[in-house]
Structure 1
């Protein structure tokens, strides 16, 4: 496995990204959409593990328009008022529409590195909605989209992913925390209905006992057993869809 730091030209500037590649030829390319704390060693560790399964994994900085920023401690950043305000400004200032536009450049970056389709997406926290919206926006290229503890997947917001269900041709996997105020039961029901009506091949799975953030190793809610369960299901999902 190797990591290469690259710069990706977008319509709004230049996004830094890490590209993680397996030892041999990549089966497919996967965009890993970060959580609210930005690219950091914990996400590198996750990308490395996924690359070890045979995929080329791109981890772009979604907050590049506001760089430099941070770094943030994922265990304490939301408990300290100063860092919380900065994080909320970054998240609020990086819209779904921005990331959807950026995703075209992310996919093209794979081609520039010799990685052709098919493509998958996976997102955590704020990245979960982006992974699903990417599948709706680039349905001719993305064949698998996964979200773990993604927030507001079926909220009242006009850019909430459930609204784009009819455009999704990819298979979808959504792993939900057992208790998560950002994705309550009424939203999971709404998302399930939208995906079913749209004829999407999907799974919504409830990780009972897990809290928002349980998959990410430096998060305060990290749960080792729950994270391993997530890895088992994610790798099986990509194995079935991406090879």
Structure 2
């Protein structure tokens, strides 16, 4: 069941979609923050959150671009339009890792206030992948599992690259990357693996050969049904093992 929330975040009020498990028998008491991709809140992400809720989790999907309201709405063909592309790139560039990390404390509290009394996990798609990992490094005592799917620039040379927080992460980590992805090339995968291993993080980095960036999200132009189901199998097993 979906509920619209307003969360007092670091720099204002963030809209969020909240999903509670509909079947009390499957309710795990655990919570999951789903960090959106670059196209913002929309039905495709709601469907993904609802699938997690059906698996027993309380799920929060916050608007990471709340500082820039109004914006969009965008569909996943937006990068093919120069004006929409510029607008999205502006949003991405003006929403820093530090901003989302500061907001994530409020997101965790929102889950707690709405019934998630158990462990907390994060999962992020596209630019949200880095946010999911950075949250685990920023709130190590709160987040027990962190997953990134086709996360972009999660082990770049930038000062705020999420891999630099590896030593602080206590969560288990799962990273699923597209077979070919300019935003997460092999050198970044190797850098991330080294950081996680040196940081003592229990982790898996999986390469989805043949998949393109965005393959998991149903309305993405790169969506691949078989590849998406593979990701769901991995993700739900990962959360079940870690969150209960």
Contact in 2 for aligned 1:178/1:206 (Cα 8 Å): yes
| CA deviation string 1:176-203 (max 9, x = no partner) | 1000000000000000011001110000
Matched, 1:60 2:59: no
Pairwise CA distance, 1:3: 0.7
SS at match of 2:80: coil
The runs of 5 or more residues in structure 2 that have no matched partner are none
| CA deviation string 1:208-227 (max 9, x = no partner) | 00000000000010000000
The runs of 5 or more residues in structure 1 that have no matched partner are none
Q: State the alpha-carbon separation in 1 of the partners of residues 5 and 97 from structure 2.
A: 23
Matched, 1:127 2:145: no
In structure 2, the partner of 1:241 is 242
Matched, 1:103 2:100: no
Pairwise CA distance, 1:169: 0.4
Pairwise CA distance, 1:73: 1.1
Matched, 1:29 2:66: no
| CA deviation string 1:35-57 (max 9, x = no partner) | 00000000000000111100001
SS at match of 1:32: strand
Contact in 2 for aligned 1:128/1:149 (Cα 8 Å): yes
Matched, 1:17 2:16: yes
Q: State the alpha-carbon separation in 2 of the partners of residues 197 and 95 from structure 1.
A: 25
Q: State the alpha-carbon separation in 2 of the partners of residues 201 and 32 from structure 1.
A: 21
Contact in 2 for aligned 1:117/1:141 (Cα 8 Å): no
Contact in 1 for aligned 2:35/2:128 (Cα 8 Å): yes
Deviation larger for 11-20 or 107-116: 107-116
In structure 1, the partner of 2:140 is 139
Taking the TM superposition and a 5 Å limit, the aligned residue runs for 1:1-243 are 2-23=1-22, 24=24, 25-74=27-76, 76-243=77-244
Give the number of aligned pairs.
Answer: 241
Contact in 1 for aligned 2:2/2:19 (Cα 8 Å): yes
Pairwise CA distance, 1:113: 1.3
SS at match of 1:30: strand
Q: State the alpha-carbon separation in 1 of the partners of residues 29 and 55 from structure 2.
A: 9
Moved over 4 A (4+): none
